[in-house]
Amino acid sequence: MDIFLPVAGSSINIMVIVGLGALAGFLSGLLGVGGGFILTPLLIMMGIDPLVAAASDTNAIVGASASGTMAHLKARSVDVKMGSLLLAGGILGGGAGTFLVKALRFGGNAGVVIVLGYVALLAVMGVILFVAGVTSQVKGEDDAQPESPGYRLLQRLPMSTSFPTSGVRTSALAPIILGVLVGVLAALLGVGGGFFLIPAMSYFLAMPMRVAIGTSLFQMLFTSAAITVMQATVNHTVDAFLALGLLVGGTLGAQVGARAAKVLKGNQLKVILALLLLALSVKMFDDLLVLPRHFLATPGGH
């Protein structure tokens, strides 16, 4: 059954949207990543305008992360204290990132700088996570993070605070710094930042994987809501039909994902996320090398 997307201005099979939403929702529930980084390229491949795809994904992520956050709140795997500090940092970083984008655009070729930054970031995070997951899997350790060099580094900062939900004691500045970094990246790369935040929380804050996932969702809920309103106001690129279709699939997928997260071990989750990040990194880099089909394109793409 086809549906016409009023803002995107194109027609698409509704089951395709719901299916894509379910895939993203599953990842969201399982890994805490928003799924936007998978959805956006897939929707663009189906001929949806890139700006509309990104903005509508963000809108759908509001709903998907709402149900995901609730599921994780019930499972007591959201560190609200940590999440609030991350969010505060995220807002600061998001503002700074917006101006950085403006400056890069002024210099020209911002798009490629951004994509290359993405490729490098995903590859590095993927490798770190993969090695961490496989090593502890082999050693038979559970998913409690031992003291990584990154954790020890940030622990030296002042304002040491206890985070009971995560079972760690670190500086209150640590999550704010991470939040700023994620905010900058979110503004630059146009994604929720979960794919970066979760490994970072695991590495730098020594948070258990499951709490890192829940807390990332909590943070993402507020960030995506703010971005949706901004996109709708400034760029008029939020397609409500598209978002709702993705969301219906997303809520179904998120429930399945959250349940799968309870069954699967933290180390397995790390490996799955690592493989996803590496695959995406390769895909994005490949896109820059392949001869485009057309030398002229409607503005809004990469």
Query: Which residues bind to another protein, rule: CB under 8 A?
Result: 1-4, 6-7, 9-11, 47, 59-60, 62-67, 70-71, 74, 109, 111-112, 225, 228-234, 236, 238-241, 243-244, 247-248, 250-252, 254-255, 288-299, 301-302
Q: How far is the CB of 120 from another protein (least distance, A)?
A: 14
> Would you call 10 exposed, middle or buried from its count of C-beta atoms within 10 A (0-12, 13-18, 19+)?
middle
Nearer to another protein, 173 or 232 (CB): 232
Nearer to another protein, 56 or 145 (CB): 56
Nearer to another protein, 62 or 180 (CB): 62
Between CA 85 and CA 112 the distance in angstroms is: 32
77 in Cβ contact with 166 (< 8 Å) = no
Q: How far is the CB of 256 from another protein (least distance, A)?
A: 9
DSSP state of 300: T
Nearer to another protein, 13 or 162 (CB): 13
The dihedrals phi and psi of 162, each to the nearest 5 degrees, come to -95, 135
Nearer to another protein, 173 or 264 (CB): 264
Nearer to another protein, 115 or 134 (CB): 115
> Would you call 256 exposed, middle or buried from its count of C-beta atoms within 10 A (0-12, 13-18, 19+)?
middle
SS3 call for 164: coil
The dihedrals phi and psi of 253, each to the nearest 5 degrees, come to -60, -40
Q: How far is the CB of 235 from another protein (least distance, A)?
A: 8
95 in Cβ contact with 182 (< 8 Å) = no
Q: How far is the CB of 301 from another protein (least distance, A)?
A: 7
Q: Which amino acid is at 65?
A: S
Q: How far is the CB of 70 from another protein (least distance, A)?
A: 4
Nearer to another protein, 177 or 226 (CB): 226
The sign of the CA dihedral 302, 276, 37, 88 is: negative
Q: What angle do CA 244, 197, 164 make, to 5 degrees?
A: 105
Q: How far is the CB of 61 from another protein (least distance, A)?
A: 8
Map tokens 């911002």 to a residue: 110
Q: How far is the CB of 7 from another protein (least distance, A)?
A: 5
Map tokens 């509508």 to a residue: 56
